[in-house]
Structure 1
Amino acid sequence: MNKKNDNHQIPDFIEVLSPAGSFESLKAAIHAGADAVYLGGHKFGARAFADNFDLENMKRAIDYVHLHGKQIYMTVNTLFKNEEIEELYDYLLPYYQEGLDAVIVQDVGVAEVIRREFPGMDLHASTQMTVMGVEGAAMLEELGFRRVVPARELSLEEISDIRQKTNLEIETFVHGALCFSYSGQCLMSSMLGGRSGNRGRCAQTCRLPYDLYGSGKKMNKGGEQYLLSPRDLCSLEILPQVLRAGTNSLKIEGRMKRPEYVAAVTRQYRRYVDRYLSDPKGFQVQKEDMQELLELYNRGGFTKGYYLSHNGREMMSMKRPNHMGYYVGKIKEINKNKICFLCEAHIHKQDILEISLPNKEKVELTSPVDGKKGSLIILNAKQIKRLRKGMPIYRTRNQTLISNIQEEVIQREKKENLKGNIIFCIGKPVMMQVRYGNLTATVTGDVVLEAEKQPVTREKIMEQVTKTGQTPFTLEITHVDMDEGAFLPMGALKALRREALKAMEEKIIRQKYRDIPVKMQTDRESVCHMPKRHQIIASVSNLEQGRAALTSEKVDAIYMLGEAIPFEQWEDFSKQCIQAGKEIYYAMPYVFHKKAGREWRTWQELICHGSHHGILVRTMDEFALLRSFWDFDKTMVLASSLYAYNKEALRFYKEQAGHKVRITLPAELNEKELLSLQEPYADLVVYGYQPLMISAQCQTKNHLGCKKKEEKLTLKDRYQKNFYVRNYCRYCYNVIYNGDPLLLLSMQKELSNLQVGGYVYQFTIENAEETKAVLEGRFENKKYTKGHFKRGIE
C-alpha cells in the first residue's frame, strides 16, 4: 500500500501497465519494459473480441510474467448474470493456484465472491465501476480492494484527492482510446444491437457518423460527423503532473492492438518514467518520440483527456473515427496515372500512404522507394480523376518503424541474469548451484572422473555451462572449485546446465503458486423492506413534470431530480408531495464529481432529516456517501445504473446499505433472467426514454460554445434514427436518450410474474402535457420499444 500523500509527492510505487490481447502482445510488453500486464481469459472480460487466453495459455502467461519478475492482472470486468456467478469459482481456481496477482472487476457480486473464496487475491476496481471520487474509493478500500481505476473523466485534482484521503493504489489510463460515455454507463451498443459494453461486446457506436440538430437546424459543420468520437489519449507530455497527482499505475489501453503498438507505446512510457525519476527538472519529451506515437495510431492528433480539462471539442476527432496517420506532404502534380508529391518527412519503401476523398472514401498507395525529406516521389495512383493538387497525404503505416520495433523489442528475448558456481571434484558427482535474488537451485550430475588423457580446463567448463541458448536466462559463473586432472564428457556438463536452469525456472514461477482454497457456503439472505402492492412511481427531471405527477391520482411516489430544484427550495416541494399523499424521493445526479460531493456534505442535515421519504442513488459514489452517513435512516433507492445482475450483487447492496433499500431491476436483463433473481417487490422501469450514454462532453458547447442553458437536442444517425441529447448544467454532463421510448405496460401477465413492487415511469424530455398523458394511459401513436425485456443480451 502507499502512504497518504499530502504534498503531491510521487508515490513510492509506480508501474507501467500494458495491455496483452494475445501472447505475442504480452511478450512484447515485457520485452519493452512493462512492470505489469493486464489480459482477459476466454470468458467474462471487457474485450470479448480480443485474442483472449484459454486455460493453458493463461497459465503459461502467468508463468512467463512471473519468471521475469513482473505482475499479471486478469480482467473479469463484465456484469455476471445469475447463472454465471455459479461458474466463477471453478473459472478462477486454476489461475488462483497458478499465482495470478490480481483480478480487475466491475460487478460488486463478483467482487464479493472473490473476496470470500480466494484469500490473497488482490481486487482491482475497474473503471467500469464508474468511481468518480473519494466517496466510492474509500468504500472500496474498506471492502478490501487494493486498487481503484477511477473514471477516465477525473481531473488531476480529483485523482490527488483520492490519493490524499485513501491508501488505495490508483491506476489511471495514460494512453489509448477514450470512450465518449463514462465507462460502465453506456447502453447504446446494447440497446441498438444487443452487443453490451457491460458484457465486453461493445460495437463502437461512438465511432459512427451522426448529425446534430437544435430547433430544427443542423448544428455540426460539414465534414464533422463523428460527434461521439474522442481522440486517443496521450499523457506523455504531462507525465510529471500525472505522477505527482498520485497515480501509481500508468495504464496503456489497447488489448485489440497489434504487438508492435504495445511494444512501442510501452517502450516510450518506460523510457520517460525512468527519465523523470532520474532527472525531474530535465524532463522533456522529444519531438521524434511524439511522432512515433502518432505514427502508431491517432485519431486526428492526441488529447490529454480530462486530466486538465472537463470537456471540449479539442478532445474530439469529429472528422475521422479511426487512424489518421502522419502528415507527409500534399499532391504537387498529377500526370496521367501518376502523382508527384514533395516529401515533408522521410518516406520508406513499403510505407502505406493514404489520400482521403471528399465522400469518405480513400486512396491507398504503397511507396516503392525511399524518399528523403525535401525530395520528390512519383507514385502510381488509382481513381486519378478524383485526385486534386494540394490534397494532403498521410502515412498510415511506417514500415521502417514497424521493422525496427520488431527487431529491437519483439524479437529480442528478455533474459534474467543468474549467477552460479560449480564444484568439480574427482570421485564425486559434479555439483552446480545457480542463484537468482534470494533463490538458490542446486543440482548434481555424473561422477567426475580422473582424466586418462586430456583433463577438462576451467575455461572449458565455463564455456559449456554458460551457453544458455533459447532459455530465459543468462548465466555468469562466479566460482569453480575443481581438482586438477578432472574429466567429464561435455554432454554431461550440458545436461547439468539444463537441469540447473530448469530447476531455477520452476523455483521462480512456483513462488506465487497457491493451495486450493476451501469453498465457502453462502446461504445468507437479507430482507428487502418493500410495499405489499406495486406502486406507481413517477421519476421526473424538472418541476414541470413534477407538478404534473403531483396532480395525478395514479401516482404513489415521485423521484424528483435534485438538480432541477435548488437545495433551499427542496423542502417546500417535498412537503407539497406529502400533503398530496405521495411519497417523495430526492433523485441524485447521473455523475458525482467533487463539486457534487462538496454540496451534498454541506446539506447533510437536510438529506438525513428532511421530510422526504428517501434518496435515489445512481452512482457508486452516491451509494457510498449515503452509506457513510451514520444517521441516515430513510429508504435508499438504487437506480438501474447500479447494476444488480445476480443475487450476490443484490445481497451486497442490501447488506451495505444498512437500512431500507429498494432495488431497480437492470435494463439489460430479459424476463427469464429477471425471474432468476427471485427479487420480489423490486422496481422496474416500464416507461421512458432510456439513457444510452452519460458523458462529460457537451454537444452544445462543442458546436455553439457553452451557454449554461439546459436544452434538448437531437442526434440523427446514418439510418435517420433519432436520439435525444439533454445537457445538465449544474454538474456539467450530457445524457443521450433512445429516440424510441420503452413501454412494457401491455405485458401485465409477465410483470405480475416478477412480483414487481414499483412501476417506474421515467420522464426525461417530456413536457407537462406529455407527462400527464402518459400517466393517464394515453400513449401517442409513436414507435415504442420493449428494450431487452424479451430479447436480452449475450
Structure 2
Amino acid sequence: MVELLAPAGNWECLRAAVTNGANAVFFGVEKFNARARADNFKMEELPEIMAYLHKYGVKGFLTFNILVFEDEMKEAQILVDACIEAGVDAVIVQDMGLVKLIREISPDFPIHGSTQMTITSPEAVDFMKEYNLEVVVLGRENNLKHIKTIAGKTDTPLEVFVHGALCVSYSGQCLTSEMWGGRSANRGECAQACRLPYDLIVDGIQKEMGNIAYLLSPKDLAAIDLIPELIEAGVTSFKIEGRLKSPEYVANVVSKYRKAIDEYFEGKQYGPSTEELRELQQSFSRGFTHGFLKGTNNKQLVDGTFPKSRGVYLGTVKKVLKDAVLCELHAPLKRGDGIVFDAGNPQEKEEGGRVYDLRRKGRKIEGEVQDGLIEIVPGRRDVKLSRVHAGDKIWKTNDPELDRKLRKTFETDYPYRPFPLAVRVTGKVGESLVSVWRDIKTGGEVTVASEVELEQAMKRPLTGEYLHEQWGRLGGTVYELAELEMALQGEVIVPVKELNRIRREAVEQLVALREQPRTYIRREISNKSSYVRAAGRNTAQGTAKLISLCRTMEQIHASAQADVDYIYADFEFTRDYPEAVEAARQYGKKIALATPRIHMPGEQGVLNGMLRANPDAILVRNTGALQYFKQAGVKIPLFGDFSLNIANHKAAELFLEHGLEKVTPSYDLNIQQMVDMLAVSPTEHIELVIHQHLPMFHTEHCVYCTFLSEGTDYTNCGRPCESHRVSLQDRIGMSHPVRVDIGCRNTVYNAIEQSGAEYITNFRELGVQEYRVEFLEEDADKVREVLQLYREALNGSRTGTSVWRTLKATNQLGVTRGQLVK
C-alpha cells in the first residue's frame, strides 16, 4: 500500500490529516525547518505529538530540511536526540552534514532525503545508499518517465509531491531570497520572489506583455488524476504541500487523495469529479497544473496574470447594474460565498466581499445557483460597484458551507478507519475469565483477566453472540471487534459490569502500547571537528591561487593571458567545451569544465562529452554527477561547487571523503558563518568564490520558450535562446540576466556583481588558498581588469577595500557585498 503524507503546521492541521486518512504527517518545530512562517510545534511537544499519531496508526516525520550552520550543530544534535527519545518515525533532511551527524548518533534512526537535496537521477539516489536513507523525495521536476527509470534502478522507496504550491526554482537551488533579503529558502525563510511582477527585457528592449507580469509564478500542482500512473511508475509515497495552509485545506486535500488511492487499489476506475476539483480549487488554487509530471510544458506551467490563490472561476462581468453585476455563471454560487472581481491588476486593491443576494431577471433566488445568467448582489460595504467593469473576471474565494463540512471532519478525534481486534477467551467455573486481546494492525497483545471467578450458569450462560455484543461496543475508541474465539469449559456466567471493565482495560492497555515511542540505537558522540590547524602556522603566507570562471570564449582567452592559476569553463552549450580546453592549453593554463547544476535520467551523455574534451578537472555541481564520475572511475580531479550546499564542517568532510579534492561552501553563509565553518574545516581543501553575479533562480521553466516562442518545450520552441538575450526587470528597475544551459534550464543571475574582496585577509588568515572570480557578460578588457585587481589583493599589493572601491567606481550598477553581510 502506498503512503499518503500530509502537512501539519499546527494541532488542528494534525487532527485534520489524521481523521481524513493520512498515513503519515510531516511537521516542524520552532527551528530547523523549511517553513519558518508556519505556526510549528515546540520540541517539548514531540512525545505528545508522536503518542497522538501512533494511537491512530499514523507516522510522524519531523522536517529538518534546511542547511545547518556551524554554530548550530550542537543545537541540531539536541533536536536529533529529542526526536530519537520521542520515537519520531523519521526526520526529513536537506543538509548532508546533518545526515553525517545523525548516522554518527544512530545507525538505524530513519532519514528521509528532502526534495531540497535536489535528487533527480538514479545516480543521486545511489549516492545516498551509504547513509541508509529510508525514503528519497524526488525533485518536483522529475516526470513520470524519469520516476519509472529511477524506480527501476533502486530499491529505495520514492516519494513525490502530488498537490500544492510549486517552486519555480529547483528546491535547494534558489538563492533569490538570500540575495535580496538575507532570508534564505534553504533556511525556511523564502520571500517568494517568484510571485513578484517582472518586465521582460529582450535584447535590451522591454517586450509588451499585456496583463502578463508574473513571469516566474507557477500554477499549483494537482496530480489527483495521475495517481494510477504514479503508483505504476513506482512511487510509494504521495506528498501534499501545505504547512502554511489551513486545517480545512488539509482535510479537503487529504480526503480526496485518500479516495483516489483507495479506489485504485480496490480496482475501481477513478477520475475526480467536477465538484471534487472545484472543492480542491476552493481551498487554495492559483490554477491547477500537472507541473512537470507529464513532461515539460512551459505554456501550461505559468499563467502570468496573477500570483495568488483565486479559488473557483465563476465567469466574467457582463454588465454593471445599479446594485448588482450581471454574470454568466460557470460554477455554483450562493448567498454568503466570498467573491473577488479581477480586473487584471492583482497588485492593486481589488473589489470583493460576500454575496448578499442572487437574482435572475430581477427576481430573488433562494439556495444555490448552478449556472446561467445571474445578477450578483454584493454586500454594499464590501464592494464599490463603480470600480467594477464589464469584462472583469469573477472568482469565488470562499465557501463557508464547504468550510463547515470540512471542519466537522476534525472537530472530534476519531480514526479514519477503526483498527481490527482479535480476542480469545478461556476459563472455567472457579477460575478467572482470561481474555487475550490482539491489535491485528500492530501485533500488540494484552491479557486481561476477570477480577471475579466464573460461576456456573443456571439460566443464561455466556455465549459468543452475547460476548461479541458487549465487547463490540467500542464506539469512541480506535478499535472494532473483528474476531472472537471462545474456549470456555462448561456453561459460565460473568456480570456485565465485569465484562465492560475488561473491555475498557484491554483497550486502554492496547492504546498505551500503540503510544509507546519507537526505539532506536543511540550513541554518545562528540560534535567537534577532527580537523586541527597546526599551532603557530602563519596561514596567510604562501601564494594564493586565483581561479577564473568563464562563460564565453572571449573570457577564456582573456583569462588565459592573465595571471590566473586555473580556468573554469561554464558554457551554456557544452559542445563548445573542447574549444575551451584547447584555448587554455595554448596558454599553458589548466582548465576544469563545469557540469550542469541538475542531472536527470538519460543525461549521462553530457557528462561523457565533458570527459572526451579531456579537461584537467571537473567542477561537480550535483550528487548525481559525482556518483557517475566515481562509478566511471574517473582519474582527473573532481571539485565540488557551491550547489552541493556545504554549510558546515561535517558536510565538507563528507564530500571530501567521497573523492572531491576541494569544495566550495554554500552561498547561504554570511561572513561570520563562513568564518565559523572555516575555523574547523580543512581549509587547504576549500575554495571560495569572491566575485560573481549570484545565480538566483535555477529552474526547469524556460522563460525564452514561454514568452518568445509558440512552442511548449525544447523540441518545438525554435531555440530563441540562441538568437536573443533575455533579462527580467524587477520593480526597482534592475535587469537580471537569464541564461540557458544544455538541459534548457534557466538561471536568473543577479544584476549587480557581488564582491568579497574586503574579507580576503580574514580568509587568508584562516588558511584558504584558493579564490574564484566568476564572469557572466564581461568583455575581455573587463575580465583582465577584474582579475588584475584580485591578483593584487591576493599578493598583498592592494587592500580588499581598494578593490571594492575600484569595482564600485567602474561598474555601472556598482557592486554589492551580497549575502556576506546579511
Alignment of 1:753 with 2:758, yes or no, is no
Alignment partner, residue 8 of structure 1: none
Tell me by how many angstroms 1:763 deviates.
0.5
User: Using a 3 Å threshold, how does the CA distance of structure 1 residues 446 and 477 change in structure 2: closer, same or farther?
Assistant: farther
CA offsets, 1:102-136, max 9 Å, x none?
22111111111222222322222111111221221
> Any idea what SS the aligned residue of 1:229 has?
coil
Q: 1:546 & 1:452 partners in 2: Cα distance? A: 100
Alignment partner, residue 713 of structure 2: none
Alignment of 1:539 with 2:549, yes or no, is yes
Q: 2:643 & 2:394 partners in 1: Cα distance? A: 45
Tell me by how many angstroms 1:242 deviates.
2.1
Preserved contact between residue 426 and residue 447 of structure 1 (Cα < 8 Å) = no
> Any idea what SS the aligned residue of 1:546 has?
helix
Match of 2:48, as an amino acid? R
Preserved contact between residue 536 and residue 759 of structure 1 (Cα < 8 Å) = yes
Preserved contact between residue 541 and residue 560 of structure 1 (Cα < 8 Å) = yes
Alignment partner, residue 212 of structure 1: 200
Tell me by how many angstroms 1:467 deviates.
4.3
Q: 1:440 & 1:196 partners in 2: Cα distance? A: 48
Report how many residues are paired.
763
Alignment of 1:733 with 2:745, yes or no, is yes
Alignment partner, residue 702 of structure 1: 706
User: Using a 3 Å threshold, how does the CA distance of structure 1 residues 220 and 496 change in structure 2: closer, same or farther?
Assistant: farther
Q: 1:648 aligns with which of 644, 650, 655?
A: 650
Tell me by how many angstroms 1:473 deviates.
3.0
Alignment of 1:625 with 2:638, yes or no, is no
Alignment partner, residue 47 of structure 1: 35
Alignment partner, residue 560 of structure 2: 550
Q: 1:379 aligns with which of 374, 377, 380?
A: 377
Match of 1:348, as an amino acid? K
Alignment partner, residue 178 of structure 2: 190
Q: Answer with 389-398 or 185-194: which moved more.
A: 389-398
Alignment partner, residue 393 of structure 2: 392
Q: Answer with 430-439 or 760-769: which moved more.
A: 430-439
CA offsets, 1:460-489, max 9 Å, x none?
876665544543334468367598795658
Alignment partner, residue 637 of structure 2: 635
User: Using a 3 Å threshold, how does the CA distance of structure 1 residues 332 and 308 change in structure 2: closer, same or farther?
Assistant: closer
CA offsets, 1:586-632, max 9 Å, x none?
1222222235322323664x37xx3x3311111121222222232x2
Tell me by how many angstroms 1:240 deviates.
2.7
Alignment partner, residue 796 of structure 2: none
Q: 1:575 & 1:452 partners in 2: Cα distance? A: 101
Alignment partner, residue 360 of structure 2: none
Q: 1:167 & 1:136 partners in 2: Cα distance? A: 13
Alignment partner, residue 596 of structure 1: 603
Q: 1:41 & 1:200 partners in 2: Cα distance? A: 12
CA offsets, 1:332-355, max 9 Å, x none?
553434335454332233211111
> Any idea what SS the aligned residue of 2:420 has?
strand
Alignment partner, residue 416 of structure 1: 419
Q: Answer with 782-791 or 372-381: which moved more.
A: 372-381
Alignment partner, residue 443 of structure 1: 448
Q: How does 1:203-602 map to 2 (within 5 A)?
A: 203-219=191-207, 221-279=209-267, 282-299=269-286, 301-341=287-327, 343-360=329-346, 361-368=349-356, 370-374=367-371, 376-380=374-378, 381=380, 382-408=383-409, 411=412, 413-414=414-415, 415-420=418-423, 428=431, 431-437=434-440, 438-447=443-452, 466-475=472-481, 478=484, 488=495, 490=497, 494-510=500-516, 513-514=518-519, 517-521=522-526, 525=530, 532-552=542-562, 554-561=563-570, 563-564=572-573, 566=575, 570=578, 573-601=580-608
Alignment partner, residue 145 of structure 1: 133
Preserved contact between residue 423 and residue 483 of structure 2 (Cα < 8 Å) = yes
User: Using a 3 Å threshold, how does the CA distance of structure 1 residues 272 and 469 change in structure 2: closer, same or farther?
Assistant: closer
Q: Answer with 774-783 or 184-193: which moved more.
A: 774-783
Preserved contact between residue 621 and residue 643 of structure 2 (Cα < 8 Å) = yes
Tell me by how many angstroms 1:543 deviates.
0.7
Preserved contact between residue 357 and residue 363 of structure 1 (Cα < 8 Å) = no
State the percentage of identical aligned residues. 29
User: Using a 3 Å threshold, how does the CA distance of structure 1 residues 148 and 241 change in structure 2: closer, same or farther?
Assistant: same
Tell me by how many angstroms 1:516 deviates.
5.7
Tell me by how many angstroms 1:391 deviates.
2.9
User: Using a 3 Å threshold, how does the CA distance of structure 1 residues 191 and 463 change in structure 2: closer, same or farther?
Assistant: same
User: Using a 3 Å threshold, how does the CA distance of structure 1 residues 164 and 52 change in structure 2: closer, same or farther?
Assistant: same
Alignment of 1:615 with 2:655, yes or no, is no
Q: 1:562 & 1:726 partners in 2: Cα distance? A: 10
Match of 1:67, as an amino acid? K
Match of 1:471, as an amino acid? T
Q: 2:692 aligns with which of 688, 692, 710?
A: 688
Q: 1:582 & 1:342 partners in 2: Cα distance? A: 70
Preserved contact between residue 569 and residue 580 of structure 2 (Cα < 8 Å) = no
Alignment partner, residue 364 of structure 2: none
Tell me by how many angstroms 1:226 deviates.
1.0
Match of 2:763, as an amino acid? L
> Any idea what SS the aligned residue of 1:594 has?
coil
Q: 1:14 & 1:464 partners in 2: Cα distance? A: 35
Q: 1:464 & 1:444 partners in 2: Cα distance? A: 16
Q: 1:452 & 1:159 partners in 2: Cα distance? A: 65
Q: 2:87 aligns with which of 99, 106, 131?
A: 99
Alignment partner, residue 793 of structure 2: none
Q: How does 1:68-107 map to 2 (within 5 A)?
A: 68-107=56-95
CA offsets, 1:143-184, max 9 Å, x none?
422322121112222222211222211111111111011110
User: Using a 3 Å threshold, how does the CA distance of structure 1 residues 210 and 259 change in structure 2: closer, same or farther?
Assistant: same
Alignment partner, residue 676 of structure 1: 676
Preserved contact between residue 144 and residue 295 of structure 2 (Cα < 8 Å) = no
Q: 2:101 & 2:41 partners in 1: Cα distance? A: 22
Q: 2:737 aligns with which of 716, 719, 724?
A: 724
Preserved contact between residue 449 and residue 488 of structure 1 (Cα < 8 Å) = no
User: Using a 3 Å threshold, how does the CA distance of structure 1 residues 276 and 452 change in structure 2: closer, same or farther?
Assistant: closer
Preserved contact between residue 46 and residue 76 of structure 1 (Cα < 8 Å) = yes
Q: How does 1:88-127 map to 2 (within 5 A)?
A: 88-127=76-115
User: Using a 3 Å threshold, how does the CA distance of structure 1 residues 774 and 342 change in structure 2: closer, same or farther?
Assistant: same
TM-score norm. by structure 1 comes to 0.89
User: Using a 3 Å threshold, how does the CA distance of structure 1 residues 328 and 121 change in structure 2: closer, same or farther?
Assistant: same
Q: 1:741 & 1:18 partners in 2: Cα distance? A: 41
Tell me by how many angstroms 1:753 deviates.
2.8
Preserved contact between residue 191 and residue 787 of structure 1 (Cα < 8 Å) = yes
Match of 1:188, as an amino acid? T
Match of 1:373, as an amino acid? Q
Q: 1:508 & 1:747 partners in 2: Cα distance? A: 55
Q: 1:527 & 1:560 partners in 2: Cα distance? A: 34
Q: 1:175 aligns with which of 157, 163, 167?
A: 163
Q: 2:641 & 2:198 partners in 1: Cα distance? A: 29
> Any idea what SS the aligned residue of 1:654 has?
helix
Tell me by how many angstroms 1:422 deviates.
5.8
Match of 2:725, as an amino acid? K
Q: 1:449 & 1:157 partners in 2: Cα distance? A: 66
Q: Answer with 367-376 or 588-597: which moved more.
A: 367-376
CA offsets, 1:17-73, max 9 Å, x none?
222222222222222222222222332111122122223433223223323333332
